[in-house]
Chain A
Amino acid sequence: MTTKLFFKTLNLEARTTMSYRFDFWISAVIGFIAEFGAVWFLWNAVFKESNSDVIGGYSLSSMYIYYLTVILISKIVRGSRSKNDIASDIYQGNLNKYLLFPVNYILYKYAQHLGVMFPSFIQFFLFGVVVILVIDLPNDINLSFTSIFMALITIFIANILYFLMNYMLKLTAFWIDNVWSLDAFKWFIVSLLGGYMLPISVFPKNLQIVLNYLPFKFLFDFPVNTLFGKIGVEIWVKEIAISLIWCLFFLIVCRLVWKKGRLQYTGVGI
């Protein structure tokens, strides 16, 4: 796959996604308000009931900021649910077309994934600018150029990691007709253990140790904490290395599953 094709695909996908302007703005805003609203009421109640100012290292206001950020970051990490779903390619037989093209399927899909993600990236920046201008950041959040720069790299890797995990799961469509139930299960695991539903520091200490050895925290918790300046450079470099190893691991698994899966493929639909 040539670089030119990679960027051409990315560009095309981004343009198509942005051409659905209604979807782009309305669904983004409404979804955001709904999700954030739920969190707002929940944590308000939790802090009130517990009579403490700090839970898991977060004050109420920094908890809000955490969710604000994690919701935005997750949009970039996940990309939106797209029509380019790998499982439906397999299920409906669109894969035939890609098998005939002299391109690497996984790279092609990644280019599309990045393209769909791109508009979310713009949203992230716009919302981010608004937040910084409007809200007084609590003391425990130290936003700096270094932390923003580090966070961007972290988010980029989280995006790759999420893509690979998703890709691996979706490849099971070679064997199972309906992977969407698995998909829901995956999101439950990933959002719970990755720090999307709750910051990982809220969990019991033992569980936190276990989560440290799993790849999920690199998706949400780690990028947010990096952005908030809570991670020192030295530790950051080490963690980035570990997350890259996880990426490599999933890439290898994906290749194996792809090889096995193709043997099962019947090229449905024609």
Chain B
Amino acid sequence: MPLIKINNLHKKFRVHKKEEGFLGSLKALFKRQYIDKEAVVDVSFSVGKGEIIGLLGANGAGKTTLLKMLTGIIHPTKGNVEILGYNPWDRKNEFLKEISLIMGQKAQLWWDLPAADCFLLLKEIYVIPEKQYRETIEELSIKLNVKHLLNIQIRRLSLGERMKMELIASLLHRPKVLFLDEPTIGLDVKSQRVIREFILDYIKKYSPAVILTSHYMDDIQYLCERVLIIRSGKIVYDGLLTDLAQKYSPNKIIKAHFKEKQESLNILLDLQKYGEILHNEKEQIHLMVNRENISNTTNYLLEHYEIIDLSIEEVDISITIESILDNKKLDSINDY
């Protein structure tokens, strides 16, 4: 049984449009113009126990709006959300005690309190048993290497340190459903890695249902098998990350290592018949070729040139995703 179940979810915002300048402000005093903005359009999917889903989309695609509806912060215009059998909008305590939302861009802890005090407050808020509380703090603070920082005011911590505290804070009550909204934003490479590993660890141990949004492909590739791609509020892809390349990238890349440097224009023109030359340096040529022409091209290369090494690779996943996000023609596809 899925822990998260979403059916035909819509969210329409009414935004008041303000003309620029003083005159515009004056006009707005008497007559306001509103525009309707469809932030989320007919979204349906479900997430099971122990499953972690990557939610991908450009800025303003509706990712955060979706998360806000799933956590009961905002009211859906239409459609159903059911998480652990509850409707988030009702804000039942039993429901709230089982979920967590981690926002990389917004501090949730109390600014002037040390982390230790914040955690104590959360202990009372979530009514966490003393033993579980002690164990969790001990375990998580050692894992994230922040034990020595527990007594420092949150506002005096660095971004990365604060993010680690936020993570601990949101996992204290061992949520069964976890929403991670860009948890590694603005962190250095090492901290990103530490936090990724930490999240994976938690998932292995407690198998919650997780929805993760991130702009870092590393996060997604490391943590998620399944991804949802959202564009202008619509889900345009729901499926495995590994299938994404095969289905939506028509091209592969042939990397050929020639015996000698290929400089003559003829050869380059010759190769261009088969595909686009991405890279041409020393003896290396990278050629982007349509999947259907892969064997033709490799045969041709091997027959006509002296080649030391040749490999065929998928196009970088982030390029594929980028092209999906840009491609306005691609219709809603559900493959899962």
Contacts and interface: CB of A to CB of B under 8 A. Distances in A.
A239 B106 CA distance: 47
B25 interface: no
A96 interface: yes
B210 interface: no
A97 B103 CA distance: 10
Interface stretch (B118-126, B133-141, B195-203, B302-310): B118-126
Interface stretch (A8-16, A135-143, A163-171, A187-195): A8-16
A8 B127 CA distance: 13
Nearest to B179: A100
Nearest to B110: A12
A8 B121 contact: yes
A37 interface: no
Contact of A265 (B74, B105, B124): B74
B316 interface: no
Interface in A71-99: 93, 96-97, 99
Please classify the interface of chain A as helix (H, G, I), strand (E, B), loop, or mixed, using the class held by over half of its residues.
Answer: helix
B295 interface: no
Interface string A83-122: 0000000000100110111110000000000000000000
B112 A102 contact: no
Contacts of B112: 16
A4 interface: yes
Interface residues of A, number: 22
B52 interface: no
A100 B113 contact: no
B282 interface: no
A5 interface: yes
B131 to A, nearest CB: 17
Contacts of A265: 73-75
23 contacts: A5-B124, A5-B125, A8-B124, A12-B113, A12-B121, A93-B106, A96-B106, A96-B108, A97-B108, A99-B73, A100-B71, A100-B73, A100-B100, A100-B101, A102-B97, A102-B125, A102-B126, A265-B74, A267-B68, A267-B73, A267-B74, A270-B68, A270-B103
Interface of B: 13, 64, 68, 71-75, 91, 93-94, 96-97, 99-101, 103, 105-106, 108, 112-113, 117, 120-121, 124-127, 181
